[in-house]
Amino acid sequence: MFNYTFHWNQALKALPQMLDGALITLQIALLSMLIGVVCALALTGFRLSGNRALSGFATAWIEIARNTPALFQIYMAHFGLGNFGIHLSPYTALLVGIAFNNAGYLAENFRGALKAIPDTQARAGRSLGMTALQAFRYIILPQMMRVAFLPTTNQMVWAILMTSLGVTVGMNTDLAGVTQELNARSFRTFEFFALAAVIYYVIAKAVTLAARAIASRMFRY
């Protein structure tokens, strides 16, 4: 069946290069999550604002992000924006695409988390003399974080996995890109990509475990 010699040594020799790529992968994922969370909070605010234009904009963003493939969104950032004379590098296009996607999914999570907190709590805060901002900051937000934390970490894992799509728009510095480049040079596809798969798995698991540790410290009560 296997008339093929595996050359794991070649792949292992390239491990430092691939780990450098893994750092870039993590960097993109973290940045995209930061941008995503900020955009998602803004979108959630827009939706609650009661302003028709703002909530329409937010709804459109969320539905497009959730109902089209992430790869399509990255293509849009890379090829589509070229129509307006905006030419993004693969890195920026990947970041924009994933951040857009994250924002859509996170906004939906935040909305669910807000819904889980009864209105009466904010009103109780207001009647104790808190300003609207104080009520949000000290009563709503801590509880919202508790509900939204797990979905947000899931989204972080998704963001890490999504960064691998960068290779389709010519990204060659992240883990998938580096692996593809090594593969193109040696045609040891299976070995290199198997190693990449292991690295992705370890990163994803590490993030999940770290999030669980943080959650158990932060939400002890």
Partner 1 sequence: MFSTALTWSDLAFLAQGAAMTLAVTAVSVAAGTLLGILFGVIRVQAGPYWSMPLTFVLDVFRSVPLLIQLVLANAFQSIAKLGWAPFTTSCVVLSLYTAAYCTEIVRGGISSVPATTRRAARSLGMTWWQDMRYIVAPLATRVSLPSWIGLTLGVMKDSALVLWLGLIELLRASQILVTRLQEPLFILLICGAIYFLISFPIARLGGYLEKRWSPND
> Where along the sequence are the contacts to partner 1 (CB under 8 A)?
1-4, 63-64, 66-72, 75-76, 79-84, 157, 161-165, 167-168, 176, 179, 189-190, 193-194, 196-197, 200-201, 204-205
Nearer to partner 1, 76 or 215 (CB): 76
Q: Give CA separation, 158 vs 30, 106, 117, 153, in Å.
A: 11, 11, 26, 9
Least distance between partner 1 and beta carbon 68 (Å): 5
Distance between CA atoms of 109 and 115, rounded to whole angstroms? Answer: 10
Element (H, E) at 79: none
CB nearer to partner 1: give 139 or 182.
182
Minimum distance between the CB of residue 189 and partner 1, rounded to whole angstroms?
A: 4
Q: Which is nearer to partner 1, 44 or 179 (CB)?
A: 179
CB of 164 to partner 1, least distance (A): 4
Which residue, 42 or 204, is less far from partner 1 as judged by CB?
A: 204
Under 8 Å between Cβ of 90 and 164 = no
Question: CB of residue 221 vs partner 1: minimum separation in angstroms?
Answer: 25
Of 136 and 190, nearer to partner 1 (C-beta) is: 190
Cβ neighbors of 219 (< 8 A, separation 6 or more) are: 146, 149
3-class SS at 69?
Answer: coil
Cα(193)–Cα(62) distance, integer angstroms: 33
Shortest Cβ distance from residue 198 to partner 1 (Å)? 8
Closest distance between partner 1 and the C-beta of residue 173, in Å?
16
CA distances from residue 38 to 48, 110, 168, 221 in whole angstroms, order as listed? 16, 11, 27, 27
CA 155, CA 96: separation in Å to the nearest integer?
Answer: 16
| Distance separating alpha carbons of residues 22 and 24, to the nearest angstrom | 5
Nearer to partner 1, 57 or 136 (CB): 57
